[in-house]
């Protein structure tokens, strides 16, 4: 009996042990199921949008993020809303109410489409297209499949998808070496989105390093499916197109010298002369002016349509351009509005009208091609604050067309902390984005209304910080322009009589030898004050020491380079400072 009881006891223990194992097994299975549900099951959920035509841009299906649905007409023309074009291709696209047209721009093109007209104008050349700009349900649409040359894209149709491929992006292709499944995630435990046969061609996406499991790649199939496959299942990998590279005219720091002469003067004869420390010259060749006529007898419209961009090149200017090119200097002549004998209202009228802006652009492009210029320095000053957007439009529409003919655009702007018509009339963020360079005119910190320095170091640096910070201008786009002059302030009884411009190279002969100089650390320049003829004279001196401190800001903030107003005002010794600081060849 005793032996039998022991056997029963062992049986009960074994049975209990088996139950425990079974419970553990169930718990493990349950945990595995939960883990699968949490981590793996989502990989099998189908998020495809099937009730509308999908848009695939390169390697992203953007359908769920679009502002408006695609429209495809009876001629299979694909339309994309202006809202979505703004999001993906041109943030500066706009509807021009006055002329009932849409204007869109890229790096090298300006395209204009009038509503409901089957034609497009690209950089001034008109051609017929199948579709037109349309207004549908209060939304503007453009026939993007007819604008491939504008945006440098290729549009494809596949199943319920439109694929838009950017032709300026790298393209890598491969073929399948066996029948494979394209997965929705970079893992076998995910939904199969498409099955591929042997030798099917796929495009391979560029992804950030270490973003995919080792051995996996992201692909796009010919049907527009986006998914993942193992790289070992691909063969004949080939780079068919590299990323487009934007080449700069100058592969070192820019060193720009303005060469000023009035519209009634001639370009200087520089035969046998070489400018040391300079790689760009900007002669004052072009200016806005009204034709010789009686202004009083004209309406505002008559006046603005007769304002042209005039030239002051002539034989002397042609010789100057040849001299510059023979010495390997780029020529970016200045285009200014400071000789415009009209009111700020008339300039406002011009800059706010697309057709008048376009006339100015055509004139500038004509001069660039006629005289084989390398670029343009746009110097438009004194504008209404409310015209900042219109001026930005001018820059937006000018820059691509200059770039298309191999010329670059630099735009002069003032410090960001001035008055409405002098400082707040510039949208530095847009100009810095669209133009090749934005030139910060770092001078006349104090103008005629208040006595002070022409360009204090702390003011320059704080202004640059605003450019880079609040204005979000890329450092590699900024040219810091420095003055080769200062002002001698004549005062009496603590009242300012006048400020007299004194060139850098005449400072020493202007100041009495007995005058004592005081170094101002915050301004990085000397200050001098003396009495003479019953007046008290004050000067914040621009000299080699002050210039050295200021030009070093170019390297401190990794700017594009420096500019100087103007050639002929400087000490010859500054050019050695320029070469050393900017490390010019």
Average pLDDT over every residue of 478-499: 96
Residue 47 pLDDT level (bands cut at 50, 70, 90): confident
| CATH 3.30.457.10 domain range(s) in the chain | 54-164
Residue-wise pLDDT for 216-239, tens only, equals 999 999 999 999 999 999 999 999
Residue 45: predicted pLDDT: 83
Residue 585 pLDDT level (bands cut at 50, 70, 90): confident
Residue in this structure with the two tokens 């001639």, named with its chain if needed:
266
3-state secondary structure of 482: strand
* Contact between 375 and 436 (Cβ < 8 Å): yes
pLDDT at 2 over 60: no
Q: Three-state SS across 246-258?
A: CCCCCCCCEEEEE
Close Cβ partners of 35 (under 8 Å, ≥ 6 residues apart): none
Strand partners, 496: 491
pLDDT at 478 over 90: yes
Residue-wise pLDDT for 566-580, tens only, equals 999 999 999 999 999
Residue 46: predicted pLDDT: 81
CA 313 – CA 267 distance, rounded (Å): 7
Q: Both ends of the chain: CA-CA distance in Å?
A: 110
Mean predicted lDDT score pLDDT of the chain: 94
| CATH 2.30.30.40 domain range(s) in the chain | 170-241
Residue 177: predicted pLDDT: 98
Residue 37: predicted pLDDT: 60
* Contact between 176 and 200 (Cβ < 8 Å): yes
Closest-CA residue to 388 (of 348, 343, 446): 348
* Contact between 287 and 240 (Cβ < 8 Å): no
Using alpha carbons only, what angle is made at residue 31 by residues 28 and 33, rounded to the nearest 5 degrees? 110
3-state secondary structure of 298: coil
Average pLDDT over every residue of 15-36: 73
* Beta strands, E only, 200-298: 201-204, 216-220, 226-230, 234-241, 254-259, 280-283, 286-290
Residue 339 pLDDT level (bands cut at 50, 70, 90): confident
- Percentage of the residues of the chain whose pLDDT score is greater than 70: 94
Residue-wise pLDDT for 66-78, tens only, equals 999 999 999 999 9
Residue 120 pLDDT level (bands cut at 50, 70, 90): very high
| CATH 3.20.20.80 domain range(s) in the chain | 256-484+543-582
Pairing of strands 286-290, 334-336: parallel
- Percentage of the residues of the chain whose pLDDT score is greater than 90: 84
Residue 38: predicted pLDDT: 61
pTM of the model: 0.92
Residue 136: predicted pLDDT: 97
* Contact between 241 and 165 (Cβ < 8 Å): no
Find the range with the poorest average confidence among 47-51, 271-275, 290-294. Answer: 290-294
Residue 18: predicted pLDDT: 76
Average pLDDT over every residue of 288-299: 70
- CATH code that applies to domain 54-164: 3.30.457.10
Find the range with the poorest average confidence among 91-100, 334-343, 474-483, 503-512. Answer: 334-343
Query: What top-level class would CATH report for the domain 256-484+543-582?
Result: alpha beta
* Contact between 407 and 368 (Cβ < 8 Å): yes
544 φ, ψ (degrees, to nearest 5): -60, -40
Residue 418 pLDDT level (bands cut at 50, 70, 90): confident
Residue-wise pLDDT for 496-507, tens only, equals 999 999 999 999
Q: Is the dihedral of CA 342, 346, 351, 356 positive or negative?
A: negative
Residue-wise pLDDT for 512-569, tens only, equals 999 999 999 999 999 999 999 999 999 999 999 999 999 999 999 999 999 999 999 9
pLDDT at 291 over 80: no
Residue-wise pLDDT for 260-285, tens only, equals 999 899 999 999 999 999 999 999 99
Q: Three-state SS across 324-371?
A: HHHCCCEECCEEECCCCCCCHHHHHHHHCCHHHHHHHHHHHHHHHHHC
Residue 40: predicted pLDDT: 66
Strand partners, 357: none
pLDDT at 3 over 80: no
pLDDT at 321 over 90: yes
Residue 12 pLDDT level (bands cut at 50, 70, 90): confident
Tokens for 206, please give them: 């560029």
pLDDT at 476 over 70: yes
Average pLDDT over every residue of 359-382: 97
Residue-wise pLDDT for 121-173, tens only, equals 999 999 999 999 999 999 999 999 999 999 999 999 998 999 999 999 999 99
- Determine the longest span between alpha carbons in the chain, in angstroms: 139
Task: Please confirm whether the linkage preceding 566 is cis (ω < 30° from 0).
Answer: yes
Residue 293 pLDDT level (bands cut at 50, 70, 90): low
Closest-CA residue to 496 (of 443, 543, 442, 447): 447
Fold of 170-241: SH3 type barrels. (2.30.30)
């Amino acid at each position: 009996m005793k032996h039998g009881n022991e056997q029963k006891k062992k049986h009960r223990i074994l049975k209990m042990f088996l139950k425990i194992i079974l419970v553990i097994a169930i718990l493990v299975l349950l945990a595995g199921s939960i883990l699968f549900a949490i981590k793996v099951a989502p990989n099998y959920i189908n998020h495809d949008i099937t009730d509308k035509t999908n848009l695939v841009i390169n390697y992203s299906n953007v359908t769920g993020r679009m502002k408006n649905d695609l429209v495809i007409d009876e001629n299979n023309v694909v339309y994309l809303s202006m809202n979505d074009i703004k999001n993906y291709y041109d943030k500066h696209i706009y509807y021009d109410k006055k002329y009932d047209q849409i204007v869109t721009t890229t790096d090298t093109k300006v395209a204009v489409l009038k509503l409901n007209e089957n034609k497009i104008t690209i950089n001034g050349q008109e051609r017929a297209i199948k579709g037109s700009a349309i207004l549908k349900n209060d939304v503007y649409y453009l026939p993007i499949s007819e604008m491939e040359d504008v945006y440098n894209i290729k549009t494809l149709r596949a199943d319920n998808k439109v694929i838009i491929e950017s032709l300026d992006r790298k393209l890598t292709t491969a073929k399948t070496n066996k029948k494979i499944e394209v997965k929705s995630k970079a893992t076998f435990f995910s939904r199969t989105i498409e099955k591929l046969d042997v030798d099917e061609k796929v495009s391979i996406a560029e992804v950030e390093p270490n973003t995919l499991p080792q051995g996996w790649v992201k692909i796009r199939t010919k049907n527009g499916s986006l998914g993942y496959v193992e790289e070992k299942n691909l063969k004949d990998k080939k780079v068919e197109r590299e990323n487009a590279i934007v080449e700069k005219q100058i592969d070192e720091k820019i060193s720009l010298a303005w060469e000023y002469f009035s519209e009634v003067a001639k370009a200087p004869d520089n035969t046998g002369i070489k400018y040391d420390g300079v790689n760009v010259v900007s002669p004052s060749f072009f200016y806005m002016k009204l034709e010789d006529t009686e202004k009083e007898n004209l309406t505002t419209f008559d006046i603005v349509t007769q304002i042209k961009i005039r030239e002051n090149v002539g034989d002397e200017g042609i010789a100057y351009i040849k001299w510059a090119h023979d010495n390997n200097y780029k020529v970016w002549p200045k285009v200014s509005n400071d000789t415009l004998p009209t009111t700020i209202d008339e300039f406002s009228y011009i800059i706010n009208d697309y057709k008048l802006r376009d006339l100015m652009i055509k004139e500038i492009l004509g001069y660039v091609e006629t005289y084989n210029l390398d670029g343009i320095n746009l110097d438009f000053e004194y504008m209404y604050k409310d015209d900042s957007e219109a001026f930005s439009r001018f820059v937006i529409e000018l820059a691509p067309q200059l770039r298309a003919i191999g010329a670059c655009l630099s735009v002069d702007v003032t410090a960001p902390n001035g008055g409405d018509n002098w400082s707040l009339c510039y949208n530095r963020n847009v100009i810095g984005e669209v133009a090749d360079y934005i030139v910060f005119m770092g001078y006349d910190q104090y103008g005629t209304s208040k006595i002070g320095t022409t360009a204090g170091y702390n003011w320059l640096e704080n202004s640059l910080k605003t450019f880079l910070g609040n204005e979000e201008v890329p450092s590699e786009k900024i040219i810091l322009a420095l003055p080769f002059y200062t002002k001698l302030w004549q005062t009496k009884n603590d009242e300012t009589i006048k400020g007299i411009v004194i060139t850098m190279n005449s400072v020493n002969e202007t100041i009495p030898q007995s005058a004592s100089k005081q170094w101002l650390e915050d301004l990085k320049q000397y200050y001098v004050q003396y009495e003479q003829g019953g007046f008290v004279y004050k000067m914040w001196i621009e000299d080699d020491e002050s210039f050295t401190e200021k030009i070093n800001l170019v390297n401190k903030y990794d700017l594009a380079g420096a500019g100087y107003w103007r050639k002929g005002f400087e000490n010859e010794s500054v050019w050695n400072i320029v070469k050393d600081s900017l490390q010019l060849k």
